[in-house]
């Protein structure tokens, strides 16, 4: 997507793909007139509350366990500023720019619902950060659901802290000045709105969905190559048989496999050489399909949250007839559970891939030269890359442990059940990176196995995948430095344009 692309927030729900376009492809984010009117209406309610003196949590009271402390006048703007300063206490390495941009995008979508009440200039400031490519440096650790990450974004609006700008890390004030922007002056409820809600876990999860969907497609491609190299029995993917178990993901995967393997002389000549294959080979539709279905479910949960109003309190009605409702919409349980399930589903993709690739190098079951090298003994061949895949699977078992089951008590017993959704979303990035490496290793091994079938034609899709890899990784004739080969294969798996261009018929 080019930098000229635009995402406009209006009256229709946004997709996770929209967040990814803003975060990764630098699409320009804009608000429609209707969205600005909604924001103006909610801010007018805040002004009415302040002028009336009615007590409303977060508007003219302290926060959390200090909710019974009343404030007035200049204290309201000071409360907002102090909220950002005191909450900006994250630790650890900074998020990647795309992660912070995804969080800001999700926050703006939240505010566009018109139920928050923050000043329109605050939303304009956040839009300016995105569209001028000024990205706050946000420590990655310290959130039990929300608060710290958005606080670090918020202080950048004040000209405090550091930002990524034009390839360098510079003071926020310097970057704002370079773009002709002024620090934002906060008013009542602005600070609370900036740290509240679920944009952090939601934005991060949108990025994870993009990676997961891409890897699911590659898993079918690479799995088909392994199936072919191991001379699998194609009856396991028979359309009539697969239709007897109607999970949608299973149907799509089996269709992909049949298409990828269409025309394979290797498969045709291998029919009947064994009664059935090992489960990791014949269950590709069932295993990959189950993960696809769970990712689809996670996407629905994440998109629902993305288009919700997740502040506390929420402002309903008009300045003449309004309600201020304290509730728990910032609780991110839905996203936390979705992120945990996404982690489990994708860890399984890596797990079954590791089992397949292990069979490729094992001469006891593969029917191929030991460790896929013509002269084993003096050459170790592809022996140790399986160790690497096993290590990554081990890490993924740890990363896939449910985060939502953790619970702690914060804010003097006021917040005594926490989703831990941001932690759940954050661990998706290393888990998915591990899956990409595991699939890249399987890709290398399956392509190397193809070298031992010189006289036979491969399937339409598997042949394309083999030739694609050979453009960047030569065949393995004798031992060589393998780390660059894994990196090159991983780079292919990370290019969504290449995937769609090469395998147009993939579902």
Catalytic residue ranges: 57
Yes or no: say if 343 and 425 are a contact pair by the CB < 8 Å rule. Answer: no
Q: Give the pair of three-digit tokens for residue 432.
A: 């998915």
Three state DSSP letters for 184-236: CCCCCCHHHHHHCCCHHHHHHHHHHHHHHHHHHHHHHHHHHHHHHHCCCCHHH
Yes or no: say if 434 and 350 are a contact pair by the CB < 8 Å rule. Answer: yes
Question: Which has the closest alpha carbon to 466: 485, 445, 441, 447?
Answer: 447
Q: Which residues pair with 162 in a beta bridge?
A: 171
List, in order, residues 6 or more apart from 75 with CB less than 8 Å away: none
Question: Which has the closest alpha carbon to 23: 123, 129, 125, 121?
Answer: 129
Yes or no: say if 288 and 253 are a contact pair by the CB < 8 Å rule. Answer: yes
Coil, helix or strand for 319?
coil
Question: Which has the closest alpha carbon to 261: 285, 245, 280, 279?
Answer: 285
Helix locations, 324-459, DSSP H = 333-361, 363-366, 383-399, 421-426, 428-450
Q: Tell me the torsion sign for CA atoms 216, 222, 228, 229.
A: negative
């Amino acid at each position: 997507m080019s930098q000229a692309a635009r995402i406009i927030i209006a009256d229709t729900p946004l997709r996770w793909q929209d967040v990814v376009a803003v975060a990764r492809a630098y699409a320009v984010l804009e608000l429609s007139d209707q969205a600005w009117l909604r924001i103006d209406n909610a801010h007018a309610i805040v002004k009415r509350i302040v002028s009336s003196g009615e007590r409303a949590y977060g508007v003219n009271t302290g926060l959390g366990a200090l909710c019974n402390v009343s404030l007035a006048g200049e204290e309201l703007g000071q409360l907002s500023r102090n909220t950002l300063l005191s909450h900006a206490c994250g630790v650890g390495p900074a998020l990647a720019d795309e992660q912070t941009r995804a969080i800001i995008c999700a926050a703006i979508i939240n505010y566009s619902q018109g139920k928050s009440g923050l000043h329109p200039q605050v939303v304009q400031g956040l839009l300016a950060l995105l569209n001028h490519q000024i990205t706050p440096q946000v420590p990655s650790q310290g959130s039990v659901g929300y608060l710290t990450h958005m606080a670090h974004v918020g202080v950048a609006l004040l000209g405090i802290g550091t930002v990524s700008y034009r390839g360098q890390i510079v003071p926020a004030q310097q970057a704002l000045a370079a773009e002709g922007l002024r620090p934002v002056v906060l008013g009542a409820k602005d600070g609370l709105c900036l740290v509240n809600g679920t944009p952090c876990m939601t934005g991060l999860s949108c990025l994870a969905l993009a990676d997961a969907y891409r890897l699911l497609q590659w898993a079918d491609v690479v799995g088909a190559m392994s199936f072919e190299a191991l001379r699998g029995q194609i009856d396991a993917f028979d359309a009539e048989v697969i239709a007897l178990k109607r999970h949608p993901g299973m149907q799509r995967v089996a269709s992909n496999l049949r298409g990828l393997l269409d025309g394979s002389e290797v498969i045709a000549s291998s029919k009947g050489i064994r009664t059935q294959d090992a489960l990791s080979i014949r269950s590709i539709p069932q295993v990959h399909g189950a993960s696809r279905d769970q990712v689809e479910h996670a996407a629905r949960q994440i998109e629902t949250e993305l288009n919700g109003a997740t502040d506390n309190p929420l402002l309903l009605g008009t300045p003449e007839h309004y309600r201020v409702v304290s509730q728990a919409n910032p609780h991110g349980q839905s996203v936390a559970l979705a992120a945990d399930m996404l982690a489990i589903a994708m860890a399984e993709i890596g797990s079954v891939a590791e089992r397949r690739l292990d069979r490729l190098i094992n001469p006891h079951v593969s029917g191929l030269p030991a460790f896929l090298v013509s002269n084993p003994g003096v050459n170790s061949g592809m022996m140790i890359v399986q160790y690497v895949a096993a290590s990554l699977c081990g890490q993924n078992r740890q990363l896939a442990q449910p985060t939502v089951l953790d619970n702690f008590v914060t804010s003097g017993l006021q917040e005594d059940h926490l989703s831990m959704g941001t932690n759940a979303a954050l661990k998706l990035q290393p888990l998915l990176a591990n899956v990409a490496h595991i699939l890249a290793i399987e890709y290398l091994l399956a392509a190397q196995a193809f070298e031992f079938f010189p006289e036979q034609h491969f399937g339409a899709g598997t042949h394309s995948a083999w030739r694609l890899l050979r453009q960047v990784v030569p065949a393995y004739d004798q031992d060589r430095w393998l780390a660059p080969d894994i990196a090159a294969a991983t780079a292919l798996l990370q290019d969504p344009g290449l995937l769609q261009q090469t395998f147009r018929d993939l579902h």
